[in-house]
Amino acid sequence: MNYLFLYLPHTICFTEHHLDIKEIDKTVLANYRIGAEFCRNILKNGGVCIFTHKSIQSTNVHLNEFCKEKDLAIRAVKLHLLSYEICIITIYRCPSWKLSILHK
C-alpha cells in the first residue's frame, strides 16, 4: 500500500457530478478534501468539483462570475507545492452554451 500511496493523483476533477451543495459537502473520498465546487441551484444535475489530496496545500480560485447554470460551470484550485504553484481548472460547457455570456 505504501508503494501505491506514492502514485495517488494530487487532484481528482469531476464534471456532471449531479449533487447539490448539501450532498457534495457530505461526499468523502479517502485522503482527499473538496478544493472547489459548483452545484446548480435551480436546475437539476450538472456541477463540477475538484478534490485535492490532503497532503497538498491548496487554495480555491473564485470564478463565480463566469458560471451560469444552463451554460457553463467552472472551478479552479491553486496547488502550493515546494517551489512552485499549479492551477487546476475544471470546466463543463453545456451543449446549449451561449458564448455571449463571456462578453458582458
Residue 87 confidence class, pLDDT cut points 50, 70, 90: very high
Look at 61 and 96; give whichever has higher pLDDT. 61
Count of CB atoms situated within 10 Å of the CB of 91: 14
**pLDDT for residue 63 is more than 90:** no
Residue 102 lies in a domain: no
Residue 100 lies in a domain: no
List the domain range (segments joined by +) for residue 89: 2-93
In 16-71, at which residue ranges do the beta strands (DSSP E only) sit? 32-38, 48-53, 57-61
Residue 12 lies in a domain: yes
Q: What local confidence, expressed as pLDDT, does residue 100 receive?
A: 58
Residue whose C-alpha cell reads 458564448 in the numeric block:
99
Number of compact structural domains in the chain: 1
Residue 103 lies in a domain: no
